[in-house]
Chains A and B, each alone.
Chain A
Amino acid sequence: MNGRAIQAETDRLSACFAKAGAQTVYTDVLQPADTLLDLYGEDIRGRSYLTSDPALGEMVLRPDFTVPVVQMHMQSHANPARYTYAGRVFRKQDVNPGRATEFVQVGFEIMGGDDPAAAEAEVFATIRAALGDLPLRAATGDIGVLMAAVRGLRTTQARKDALMRHIWRPRRFRALLDRFGGRTPPPASRTALLALADPLDGAPALAGVRTRAEIAARIASLREDAAAAPISASEIALLDVILDLRATAPQALGRLRDIAIDMPAIEPAVTRMHARLNALHLRGIDVDALEFEGSYGRTSLEYYDGFVFGFYAAEGHQPPVATGGRYDALTARLGDTDVPAVGGVIRPDLVLAVRGQM
């Protein structure tokens, strides 16, 4: 693709975001690897280009803008703050060798503020507006509803923590749910281990960093888990309804409200979704036509923990032209204060590709 055309499109998108009130920020292409990669899941880690600097240690070619932009925000303390940025990101394409290993992202992020639903609607609508009249399909979801449902399960904290940790790994999430629900029996080796009065009695000598105390603690938690009652079939059924939900946003909201009657823990997240749909409507989005998927965002970037969205070309299996979402937990891990944050990015090369097909 023509570099000059991509640059022109990048400039156009940046101007859209600047006009929407965003301050332009810049980040380095070379980022320190340890702090950055530790925050992402293994997928991004595995797909990052690593290099080393004699003085600075291990460095990574920027795989994403979110972390450096959040770090920048932590120093500025503007509230609320709107940022825009543009530049290349780099990702190895092991699985899809045909896809670009470096491409431009133009982003728009809102941090802080006290009306999260309005901020989410603003990001979505601003990105939709910047995309103009491109024929794109919008997908939306809400990881926050799913997390609230897991938090509200009537089971042990350890089980909830385990499920929460695997929200973004559907296969392991399902395997855990099946076991916690008693649908699959525990592995035979575990049953045998717990049948021993003291599994550590006469255990082989240890090598490495992990200690005997850590092993004893794990055995204690396995015992606690074995003694706990299974998660009820009705609760799992409700969770499945949320995971399988595919409807227009108003229909999805209706069904989630029904579920909230039996599962009150999701009530605040459903109320938030309602507020978001109202805010989207106020910004001129046709909410009645908006698609909602209960599992959307579960296999993409691990740090989204609320509203998630993507814009897709109607045909073909190209990556989404734009994606975004809420990532409050990430800001909490990067700074000492909780800063609500929502944002998204557009890929100008894919905008041009879709425009070429029009």
Chain B
Amino acid sequence: MLKLGVPSKGRLMEKTFQWFGKRGVTLRKSGSDREYAGAVDGIDGVDLVLLSAGEIPRELAAGRIQLGVTGSDLVREKLANWESTVRQVTPMGFGGADLIIAVPTGWVDVDTVDDLDAVAAAFRATHGHRLRIATKYHRLVREFLAREGVADYALVDSQGATEGTIKNETAEAIADITSTGETLRANGLKILSDGMIHASQATLFRSSRSGWTMAQRDTFRALEHTLGL
């Protein structure tokens, strides 16, 4: 069987079901609403596996599922050298969100990454510690800032309510996912104009891990055909 991993709840699951449904493949939860078992109609040989969106990258990389739907941000964040372990099949056009860097709106002198870097130098000299950036996207943010040549910052981990860290004085800036910027504005934060780290959307990935059976390859080809890819 070809295992297809899909987010197990919420809008991401519903939109994924709709996306496949529109293309002639019906995905649905089987049994009660609280069970994580699924069923597939419209194509043979595909098993639906409902998983947390955050686990799908690792499952793909390990080859425990052959296909998976998750955010392109999560694949890049959770997998080292993601291109060597998974391959993008197609972006799906929903679940869009941008990973950005935001600073207090009151920082009128800061608009670009270059400003942030200069402020980090002065901040470290004044306060005796690095400028802290709260995020849960450590890999993506570190790679971006290394590429941009930013120094004198430190990443601090924040798994939720990241916008609040500045007011709580546990960070000076944040790097987080936003779709409308509403929460940022409500918390007195603004986005750096050139601080777009990654424009994420729900994406269908396939595992690059060797060990696909002939039957799985055939099913994948049939699925691509049905989906019109």
Which of A's residues lie within 8 Å of B, judged by CB? 38, 41-43, 45-46, 93-95, 97, 162, 165-166, 169-173, 175, 187, 189-190, 193, 199-200, 203-210, 212, 214-215, 217-219, 222
**Does B119 interact with chain A (Cβ within 8 Å)?**
yes
A187 near B112: Cβ-Cβ < 8 Å: yes
Question: Interface size for chain B: under 10, 10 to 19, 20 to 34, or 35 or more residues?
Answer: 35 or more
> Complex: how many Å from CA A204 to CA B184?
14
Specify which of A94, A171, A200, A217 is in contact with B149 (CB 8 Å cutoff).
Answer: A171
Q: Which 9 A-B pairs have the closest CB atoms?
A: A172-B149, A169-B149, A189-B111, A206-B106, A208-B166, A204-B105, A218-B109, A94-B80, A204-B106
**Secondary structure of the A side of the interface?**
helix
B109 near A208: Cβ-Cβ < 8 Å: no
> Complex: how many Å from CA A203 to CA B109?
10
Specify which of A162, A200, A208 is in contact with B118 (CB 8 Å cutoff).
Answer: A162
> Complex: how many Å from CA A152 to CA B122?
22
Number of A-B pairs whose CB atoms are under 8 Å? 109
> Complex: how many Å from CA A199 to CA B109?
8
> Complex: how many Å from CA A173 to CA B149?
8
Give the residues in chain A near B171, CB-CB below 8 Å: 208
B188 near A205: Cβ-Cβ < 8 Å: yes
- A95-B81, A206-B106, A208-B169 as given contacts; A217 in contact with B145, CB under 8 Å: no
Instruction: Please encode chain B, from 133 to 175, with 1 for each CB lying within 8 Å of some chain A CB and 0 for all others.
Output: 0000011001001111111111100000000001101011000
- A207-B167, A210-B104 as given contacts; A171 in contact with B148, CB under 8 Å: yes
> Complex: how many Å from CA A107 to CA B111?
45
Query: Please, could you name 12 A-B residue pairs with CB atoms under 8 Å apart, sorted by A?
Result: A165-B151, A166-B149, A172-B149, A187-B111, A187-B193, A189-B193, A207-B104, A208-B104, A208-B169, A210-B119, A210-B123, A214-B126
Quote the shortest CB–CB distance from A34 to chain B (angstroms): 9
A187 near B114: Cβ-Cβ < 8 Å: yes
- A162-B118, A203-B106, A208-B169 as given contacts; A190 in contact with B149, CB under 8 Å: no
